[in-house]
Structure 1
Amino acid sequence: MKPYPTPGTDPAHDILRYEKHSLDVIFGPGTVAVIGASDAPGSVGNTLVRNLIEGSFGGVVYPVNPRRKSVMGIRAYPAVGEVPEPVDLAVIATPAPTVPGVVRQCVDAGVKGAIVISAGFRETGSEGAELEERVLEEARRGGMRLIGPNCLGVMRPHTGFNATFAQAMALPGSVGFISQSGALLTSILDWSLQENVGFSYFVSIGSMLDVGWGDLIYYLGDDPRTKSIVLYMESVGDVRSFLSAAREVALSKPIIVIKAGRTEAAAKAAASHTGALTGSDRVLDAAFRRSGVLRVDSISDLFYMAEALSKQPRPQGPRLTIITNAGGPGVLATDALIDGGGELARLSGETMGELDALLPEAWSRGNPVDVLGDADPERYTKAVEIARKDPGSDGALVILTPQAMTDSTRTAEHLRSQARGREPILASWMGGAEIAAGREILNRAGIPTFAYPDTAARIFNYMWRYSSNLRSLYETPVLADEPGESDRERAAGEIIERVRGKGRTLLTEAESKQLLAAYGIPTVETRVAEGEDEAVEAAGEIGYPVVLKLNSETITHKTDVGGVKLDLKDGDAVRRAFREIRGGVSAEDFQGVTVQPMVPLDGYELIVGSNIDPQFGPVLLFGSGGSLVEVMEDYELGLPPLNTTLARRLMERTRIYRALQGVRGRDPVDLGALERLLVRFSQLVVEQPWIREIDINPLLASSERLIALDARVLLHDADTEEGELPRPAIRPYPEQYVERTEMKDGTPVTIRPIRPEDEPLIVKFHETLSEESVYMRYFRAMRLSQRTAHERLTRICFVDYDREMALVAERRNPETGEREILGVGRLSKLHGIPEAEFALIVSDPYQGQGLGTGLLSRLLEVGRREGLRRVIADILPQNRAMQRICKKLGFKLRHDPEEQLVKAEIDLRAPVGA
């Protein structure tokens, strides 16, 4: 069977043909109707018609205007329904109040795509928002895809398609540019024509009523001409769609974004430490990191990065070698490099020896490598060649200043030979007209050039950070806990339902710690005492010294009301403390005290928390804790769910992480245990959606233990409907699709969704496959080393469950007790339509035991529950076993003699067994 892959991710997939995308009618129409076409020079309707007919896209343009018989000499029609042939795309430029009716007419006429140029919708207030809802309702009635409203339009320079009211056409190139600002788009267009920068697509996305970031990222991800994708973003829109698309496409094409509003004041939630610390812009940074998107701070860097990443390989680390013919520019580049987190590469003894033999006595003898102002092209190029071979270097920056003996043009010509290599090379040709020819030579050769060396160093820092982030996202994690083998979700849910049943939203400290304990997070022993004698008795059983804290169902921060008493050494001290705590609050706020052992603070105080972001739902926080947490501001944010690798990366971005590794004679904290704790905490957050805010502060971390000393949990308001509860921006592991079954011989098997931690098991699984099974699955022979390469398996095991659903059949080996994967089935959604393609392969020793039927049957059930309409597959004619399984489960099979394949198809809307 043939899988539906991401193009370019697997050599076995590159020859496949893909289903028509729903956005093809917008970017590649055969017929276009311009509704609101006009003869008035300079008007939007006139410019749209002119741009379309002057382009070379090869389609037919139909002006639509009920008051004119022709527009620009072309026959006009009073309505889209009267156009003499089917219309693929409608470009609408009529007043906002008319747009719902126009879209209705388009749907009735069978138009499948629309670009709404018109403004006057949600940006004008509630009436405009209501208009938008009517437009969307009409579009969805006919399955129409719609870009806008309030947009400039779209261009596809390679085909000459220009459905915008811009004054010029973009040059063809390899950058796909999407912008929410039409005005910015026209500015970038003017700049690109001056700088000779080309685009594969030029898209003004407008209000994103229908087509959003996710749709366009997927579309450009599939486009072979697009090498990088750049975004100007004002709002995220559909968060899950954006993150899902970005996480998939960023593996093969860089996605660079500039997001407006970085300095907008973050909303503060003063009721919790986590709420006070999280802010929308920092959350956005966390989301970009989690999806492999690179965020830059300026429009210039947006295009610098698009150019650099499309021309040069990504650096594998932060170490840069600088080669220059002047000391000052090398120092400037070094400062920018270090300030941005990069490093100067330490040149090896062998490299130093080769450079000593090449360069004059006065050379710098270090990095930056100063080849001196009299360097000719040969010396320059040979020095670069030597430096780039050094294994301790992750990239090279070549700086040239125009000096009396410098031939910048010939040096650039010589340097062209260095354009291709394992590590990236950047150049800074400083100056104006004198070095312009050399700069042009380097740019054409694929070596990005910059006017200033500090700019080049900054771009290198962006490049290695992008590479590092992608690598860490797809680093194989360690399984933190066996899924499905704990009743944590049920136990925690009972605690929350008890609290909600009493009409409360604030858990007491004792209830909060019970909740943590359900997820295996260690907490300090805590007993509730309603009376003075009971408190003394509990203290005696725990052992002195003890801590007394206010137990309240209403008060959030106990220290604010004197509700915490420390280091109580005997019963008298406990009684005094009890009375003081009770006297500091009202009777309604006092439900007794908690008694806990006095734990010596012999470790590091950390904070672990979660709060709700309006766009991204639950957000995790980790950092330095204690009473000064807001003052220290040493924390980082992440999106749940986490695995152990993501937990480690979250920790690494804080300053406290260095101390956790052991400093000044202290033993290091068990970082593996801390990773697992963060993973379990993230599971708590995603599995208990009634939690609005949760803090563990402090979490005491030492070489001997991790223990939560205090915790606070706040639930959503009682009048919140379950369907209104915020959901995670990244879909968590779908436990609902875990199923236990048996093979024909009675062997127990678990069919469950795949997870990143399965990569080692998938490697072993591939070792059990015969050449015939591999050929049947991939339509060609593939070596084991190719099938089990980490870069390939990341795309198999790191599944975005919104985009794909891969199920594995797993058993426990009765002899070794180890888990084994016996079969893998995959359901991959087609972009833009509610359909999917399946793929299936079973380990040779377990074929004929019903695993194939079981996996495919479960995939179809998943497809129904995920709202898919159709599932398809291509099967080799000789793969009769797979054809029998498909027939058994209700697929229709059709032989395609042209492709020499069997086409399998099933309608999931039909009754099961029909």
Structure 2
Amino acid sequence: MSIANDSKEILRERAYDILRSEYRPLNAIFAPKTIAVIGATERLGSVGRTLLWNLITNSFGGTVFPVNPKRFSVLGIKAYPTVAAIGEPVDLAIIATPAPTVPSIIRECIAAGVKGAIVLSAGFKEIGTVGIELEQQLLAQIRESQMRLIGPNCLGVMNPITGLNATFANSMARPGKVGFISQSGALCTAILDWSHRENVGFSAFVSLGSMLDVNWGHLIDYLGDDPHTESIVIYMESIGDARSFLSAAREVALTKPIIVLKAGRTEAASKAAASHTGSLTGSDAVLDAAFRRCGVLRVNTIADLFDMAEVLAKQPRPKGPHLTIITNAGGPGVLATDALIATGGELTELSADAIASLNAILPPHWSHHNPIDILGDADPNRYAKTLEIAANDPNSNGLLVILTPQAMTDPSQTAQQLKPYAKLPGKPILASWMGGSEVSQGELLLNQAGIPTYPYPDAAVQVFSYLWRSSYNLRELYETPVLPTSCTIVKNRQDAFSTTNHEFSGGAGFENRQDACSTNYEFSDGAGILPACIQAAQIIDAARQEGRTILTEVESKQILAAYGIPTVQTCIATTEDRAVECARAIGYPVVLKLFSKTITHKTDVGGVQLNLMDENAVRNAYQAIKSGVQALAGEENFLGVTVQPMIELEGYELIIGSNLDPQFGPVLLFGTGGQLVEVFQDRSIALPPLNTTLARRMMEQTRIYKALNGVRGRKAVDLPALEQLMVQFSQLVVEQRWIKEIDINPLLATSEQLLALDARIILHESDIDENQLPKLAIRPYPTQYATPWTMKNGISITIRPIRPEDEPLMIQFHKTLSEESVYFRYFHLIKLSQRIAHERLTRLCFIDYDREMALVADYQNPETGTHEILAVARLSKLHGMNEAEFALLVSDSYQCQGLGTELLDRLIQVGQDEKLDRITAEILCDNSGMQRVCKKLGFQILRGIDSNVVKAEIQTSKPSPKGSEASTHPN
């Protein structure tokens, strides 16, 4: 492809982006051409007057229409009694009238075709029942229209790039590259004042208020697409729609840092919980886990919030936690070291080459280790040479340069010498120029060069640790996981399974056709083998039929076993004699535990007897448990005992569990288990579903993880097997939505085995309807779209959604593509090395099923068992619009087998399931084959944005004409 053609392609893409931007609904709010100010007045100090004044004194390139039925003009501008009376199209209506009047005003705006609204008025849900009713009226009207609304009870919106000040704040924000969003209007004004003092600029400044319509996810999407925004800073009081936030943040955080200050870290007194997991999963810890899962960085103070926005705009994220500290004074170096270790960072261990190079340029009495103390007489040249050596040390992930003013110190000249090192590839450089006014000129030079400065080294270290945490979170998200060894595909479309407890989205996401079970367990039609989800559901349904919310230990273990989680042998004994029989069959020593359908914590009522060596011990233990339960809980709670082998705990006791969070739904827990689990408090939390990489990251966040790797002569636990077990447990939680809380405690982990010694499951109350069950915060793998299919040549394949584990297969797939196939797909040639780069493939394989669906044709070689991807079809929702674009690519060797037609038809079905309005694609005029496939399936072929391109479009409300004849069509 020539440079000229490349330039043409870039221009075409830009033209398409501009065309698409015209349909972005939030443009009516952030880039309006006409604004109606409803409630405009001349009364001094009023919201209506301040708002109108801000709009007309800050030129935004549009027209303002005051609306006030009692005045002919406001501030010298003609006023109108209603929006309809304006007689011109209005993009944005800003409402500053009493709350009871707002629903009728919104109704008038919708009738007049107003595209966006900002409701500044207070007096809604914050005042109680009356306000909540007003909000419901607003929401009902908004949902029946195309209007988007910010608020109510907010400060408004600023777009400093265009000059729009649609707020009642006292001043206008400076233009810059930071998108700021806050729920608190009062904090917005404080941040605005702070930004003027610190010379911080914004690309957008938004007060969200009650988030009745536009929420975090919508604004993150909008700012993610905004070319003026380089980072997004958020002050959050409540998360609202958790799935929307996580979905948007996960997509945007990879290219634009998102930094959040969440109010309310301190938790109230712990509520009683039926499981150990329930007592360990606090709401703030769950929020931290959610932020990690989507690559968002959480900070603790307002200063941290903007420090991180600044440094991320100037410096790269580090690739590791190792910081090299250069200082001319020992004390600040020690303070920096303490702060680094306390915040989770590590000192760089200087390489032998680095030490040798430093010995050659530094005085004999330098520190000879990190921190590198270059002594109090260090001149600018010594600083520069030391920094150059430290920057080239492969062990280092970042650098901090500390300067204290001493007799020989020249802060300004030293800063000048450091400027060439401001942009180190993959290594952030920070500076702490201590000394106030004495070093101010040096600080200015560093900041101008892009090296952030801090008055104290511990503040700089805190920033580095935040940077490393941000890198770690993103690496966690996009590290290619290992495919679980037990993973097979469901053999056929079992529509009969649609009654199982899967989530129904009603068109909000790619999951409303949940007609199959877990991908991890094979369905054997007619062989009497049920999938794991059906086995578990039957046990749960039986308990619910009895009106129980507590499963017995035996039932709980049966559910674990159905999902491939090994459990200890367990025998139920309802009599003393039966307990002896069980003990003999199992072999001494044994353990007796209370068998009850009502008591979950057996040890609380003396319900566990250990290390029973003979028949007499078993009989005595049986009577002891029976009498203890009868005395403490009542005879009706004793149904007998379970007999289990006595397991010598030579390994580690772990806990794996799940509990329900009111904002995020089911959450997972891993950590140190046993009877003192609440005392040790060694746990990590994550959101389901997991893959093997995410499971390993959960382990790494606990103190016991070091022990699991082997300590003091003990063999390491089989960590890959533990990863697999956690993935299977995650799948259990995803599929069995009637489970409210579940514990495996303890899970015995040794180098030879993993064994669930005890299990506890609590169900949701019986008065909850199935459609009221909590949704997962992250959409799970859409198994309903995984089905077999046969190509025209007779080869059987599986068409299924893509998954992160497919990255190696995608690399091989791209090696099979001809230049023509690549050109037709991407409109220009892309080198293979670029197409298979990890950074690119993560975006293609690690998809959010709420936003995108990619189907792959998976062929498994029957002789070797190896898998090969033959084709990929992708459907991507467009931000702010109820439509999607498709893309299709088939390996050259498998074209003309009906594969493209089948994949595209399935994407149409996905679009119909999602209740999308339409699906479109741009196709090169030369790509006649793709155009034929589109026409066959009912697409219209329309003129494109240039002469080389056509546009394919289909209304997805209409069924595809292909029906069941897909396999007969040529591709």
Match of 1:123 in 2: 126
**What are the within-5 Å matches in structure 2 for residues 156-235 of structure 1?**
156-235=159-238
Per-residue CA deviation, residues 301-321 of structure 1 (Å, 9 max, x unaligned), is: 111111111110110011111
Cα distance in 1 between the residues matched to 2:829 and 2:16? 16
**What are the within-5 Å matches in structure 2 for residues 42-53 of structure 1?**
42-53=45-56
1:457 aligned residue (461, 464, 467): 461
Q: Is 1:482–2:487 an aligned residue pair?
A: yes
1:775 aligned residue (823, 826, 851): 823
How far the C-alpha of 1:170 sits from its partner, in A, is 0.7
117-126 or 134-143, larger mean C-alpha shift: 134-143
Per-residue CA deviation, residues 189-221 of structure 1 (Å, 9 max, x unaligned), is: 101101111111111011100000000111111
How far the C-alpha of 1:899 sits from its partner, in A, is 5.2
Tell me, what secondary structure is at the counterpart of 1:683? helix
Name the CA shift for 1:579/1:339 in 2 (closer, same or farther; >3 Å): same
Cα distance in 1 between the residues matched to 2:691 and 2:856? 19
1:110/1:142 contact within 8 Å kept: no
Match of 1:627 in 2: 675
2:326/2:401 contact within 8 Å kept: yes
The amino acid that maps onto 1:324 is: T
Per-residue CA deviation, residues 592-620 of structure 1 (Å, 9 max, x unaligned), is: 21111111111111111111000110011
Q: Is 1:596–2:640 an aligned residue pair?
A: no
Match of 1:6 in 2: none
Q: Is 1:526–2:575 an aligned residue pair?
A: no
Name the CA shift for 1:76/1:425 in 2 (closer, same or farther; >3 Å): same
Match of 2:875 in 1: 827
1:436 aligned residue (436, 440, 451): 440
TM-score by length of 2: 0.92
**Residue segments in structure 2 that go unaligned for 5+ positions in a row:** 1-9, 491-520, 523-530, 963-971
1:691 aligned residue (739, 744, 753): 739
Cα distance in 1 between the residues matched to 2:790 and 2:780? 27
2:320/2:468 contact within 8 Å kept: yes
Match of 1:395 in 2: 398
Per-residue CA deviation, residues 103-130 of structure 1 (Å, 9 max, x unaligned), is: 0010000001001100111011111011
Cα distance in 1 between the residues matched to 2:135 and 2:171? 29
The amino acid that maps onto 1:537 is: E
2:813/2:868 contact within 8 Å kept: yes
**What are the within-5 Å matches in structure 2 for residues 88-127 of structure 1?**
88-127=91-130
Percent identical residues: 66
Q: Is 1:680–2:728 an aligned residue pair?
A: yes
Match of 2:535 in 1: 491
Tell me, what secondary structure is at the counterpart of 2:25? coil
Q: Is 1:55–2:103 an aligned residue pair?
A: no
How far the C-alpha of 1:413 sits from its partner, in A, is 2.3
Q: Is 1:906–2:909 an aligned residue pair?
A: no
How far the C-alpha of 1:811 sits from its partner, in A, is 1.4
2:300 aligned residue (279, 297, 300): 297
Per-residue CA deviation, residues 435-460 of structure 1 (Å, 9 max, x unaligned), is: 22221221121111111111001110
How far the C-alpha of 1:576 sits from its partner, in A, is 2.1
The amino acid that maps onto 2:38 is: I
2:151 aligned residue (131, 145, 148): 148
How far the C-alpha of 1:13 sits from its partner, in A, is 7.1
Per-residue CA deviation, residues 759-807 of structure 1 (Å, 9 max, x unaligned), is: 1111111111111111111111111111111111110110111011111
Tell me how many residue pairs correspond in the alignment. Answer: 905
Name the CA shift for 1:897/1:629 in 2 (closer, same or farther; >3 Å): closer
1:761/1:821 contact within 8 Å kept: yes
401-410 or 615-624, larger mean C-alpha shift: 401-410
Tell me, what secondary structure is at the counterpart of 2:760? strand
1:413 aligned residue (405, 412, 416): 416
1:266/1:280 contact within 8 Å kept: no
How far the C-alpha of 1:371 sits from its partner, in A, is 2.8
Match of 2:258 in 1: 255
How far the C-alpha of 1:434 sits from its partner, in A, is 2.5
TM-score by length of 1: 0.97
Per-residue CA deviation, residues 323-346 of structure 1 (Å, 9 max, x unaligned), is: 222222222211111211211212
- The alignment's C-alpha RMSD in Å is 1.6
How far the C-alpha of 1:358 sits from its partner, in A, is 2.4
Cα distance in 1 between the residues matched to 2:379 and 2:262? 44
**What are the within-5 Å matches in structure 2 for residues 801-816 of structure 1?**
801-816=849-864
1:707 aligned residue (755, 770, 773): 755
1:267/1:280 contact within 8 Å kept: no
Match of 1:264 in 2: 267
The amino acid that maps onto 1:462 is: Y
1:12/1:778 contact within 8 Å kept: no
Q: Is 1:138–2:141 an aligned residue pair?
A: yes
Name the CA shift for 1:12/1:352 in 2 (closer, same or farther; >3 Å): farther
How far the C-alpha of 1:665 sits from its partner, in A, is 1.1
Cα distance in 2 between the residues matched to 1:743 and 1:767? 21
Per-residue CA deviation, residues 257-316 of structure 1 (Å, 9 max, x unaligned), is: 010000131642332111111110011011011111111111101111111111101100
Match of 2:351 in 1: 348
2:543/2:551 contact within 8 Å kept: yes
Cα distance in 2 between the residues matched to 1:442 and 1:743? 63
The amino acid that maps onto 1:682 is: S
Cα distance in 2 between the residues matched to 1:702 and 1:408? 57
Cα distance in 1 between the residues matched to 2:16 and 2:407? 56
Name the CA shift for 1:13/1:245 in 2 (closer, same or farther; >3 Å): farther
Per-residue CA deviation, residues 738-766 of structure 1 (Å, 9 max, x unaligned), is: 12211112211211111111111111111
Match of 2:898 in 1: 850
**What are the within-5 Å matches in structure 2 for residues 560-579 of structure 1?**
560-579=604-623
Cα distance in 1 between the residues matched to 2:657 and 2:567? 15
Cα distance in 2 between the residues matched to 1:144 and 1:546? 68
**Residue segments in structure 1 that go unaligned for 5+ positions in a row:** 1-9
Q: Is 1:516–2:564 an aligned residue pair?
A: no
Tell me, what secondary structure is at the counterpart of 2:161? helix
1:873 aligned residue (903, 907, 921): 921
Cα distance in 2 between the residues matched to 1:398 and 1:12? 46
Tell me, what secondary structure is at the counterpart of 1:447? coil
Per-residue CA deviation, residues 362-404 of structure 1 (Å, 9 max, x unaligned), is: 3333222223333332332222122111111111111122223
Match of 2:470 in 1: 466
Tell me, what secondary structure is at the counterpart of 1:700? strand
1:107/1:144 contact within 8 Å kept: yes
The amino acid that maps onto 2:450 is: G
1:91/1:117 contact within 8 Å kept: yes
How far the C-alpha of 1:897 sits from its partner, in A, is 6.2
Per-residue CA deviation, residues 548-574 of structure 1 (Å, 9 max, x unaligned), is: 111111111111112111122222222
Match of 1:651 in 2: 699
1:891 aligned residue (910, 935, 939): 939
Cα distance in 1 between the residues matched to 2:15 and 2:361? 48
571-580 or 643-652, larger mean C-alpha shift: 571-580
Cα distance in 2 between the residues matched to 1:156 and 1:676? 48
139-148 or 706-715, larger mean C-alpha shift: 139-148
The amino acid that maps onto 2:56 is: I
Cα distance in 2 between the residues matched to 1:619 and 1:269? 17
Cα distance in 1 between the residues matched to 2:26 and 2:945? 29
Per-residue CA deviation, residues 680-701 of structure 1 (Å, 9 max, x unaligned), is: 0010001000000111111111
The amino acid that maps onto 1:906 is: I
723-732 or 564-573, larger mean C-alpha shift: 564-573
2:922/2:944 contact within 8 Å kept: no
The amino acid that maps onto 2:445 is: I
The amino acid that maps onto 1:143 is: Q
1:12/1:780 contact within 8 Å kept: no
Match of 1:3 in 2: none
418-427 or 428-437, larger mean C-alpha shift: 428-437
Cα distance in 2 between the residues matched to 1:661 and 1:14? 52
The amino acid that maps onto 1:401 is: T
2:16/2:945 contact within 8 Å kept: no
Tell me, what secondary structure is at the counterpart of 2:743? strand
Match of 1:663 in 2: 711
